Amino acid sequence: MIDYTTLPSREIERLSRNIKPGEWAIESMRPISTLLGSCVAVCLYDSGLPLAGMNHFMLPQMKKGTNADEDVLLAGDACMEALLNAMLKQGAAKHRIKAKAFGGGTVIDANLPSSLSIGKRNADFTHEWLDRENIPITASDFLGPWSRKILLVPKNGDAYCKRVTSSLINIDSLRREEKAYAESLLNKSSSANNKKIELF
């Protein structure tokens, strides 16, 4: 059995389970990873168990009236509830759960005022939701002009956050990937419900 706590971060990333926008995962051993732009990833871990989970959401909430049930986890309110409930079902104790949270970079909406920034809205939502649930944040890295690579080691709750500048990753490529994913959801929902979804 691999002891992920002794491996360098590059090897942890290679062996990790990667999640995309609108996804979450819980593990007891295998690391979890994701790549963020304006999205946020919240890592929840039980300080008394080798159990942790991570999610990845794009917006604080879905627009009211949206019927895209399968894509509701793109919204922070649903994605946070799903992750917390799954942790509790796997044996985590609410009073031992702690959080580490990352993201909200100004990758897509760099020209907007900070009050309208999707990244800032995501970061503010994360703080508010965790405060409301009495889950302390033990580490965080929000906002700024960076994309981020996040790694979570469930065995001990360690999280690694690597800020990625345009010299290391093609920001336009990340922007296109997030936009393409959002458009694919729009097309899927339109064909299923014949309704439009307002995306950012």
Model pLDDT for residues 128-184, shown as the tens digit of each residue = 999 999 999 999 999 988 889 999 999 999 999 999 875 444 556 656 666 666 666
Separation between Cα atoms, residue 59 and residue 123, nearest integer Å: 10
% of residues, the chain, pLDDT over 90: 50
Q: In one letter, which amino acid is 190?
A: S
The pLDDT of residue 74:
76
The pLDDT of residue 118:
83
Report the pLDDT averaged over residues 12-37: 92
Least confidently predicted of 41-55, 85-99, 171-185: 171-185
Model pLDDT for residues 111-121, shown as the tens digit of each residue = 555 555 788 89
Q: With 60 as the cut, is the pLDDT of residue 106 above it?
A: yes
Q: With 70 as the cut, is the pLDDT of residue 198 above it?
A: no
Q: With 60 as the cut, is the pLDDT of residue 57 above it?
A: yes
Backbone angles phi and psi of 169, in degrees to 5:
-145, 145
Alpha-helical runs (H) found in 48-170: 76-89, 118-132
Q: With 50 as the cut, is the pLDDT of residue 200 above it?
A: no
Would you list the DSSP string of 1-34?
---GGGS-HHHHHHHSEE--TTEEEEESSS-EEE
The pLDDT of residue 84:
96
Higher pLDDT among residues 129 and 62, named by residue: 129
Q: With 60 as the cut, is the pLDDT of residue 43 above it?
A: yes
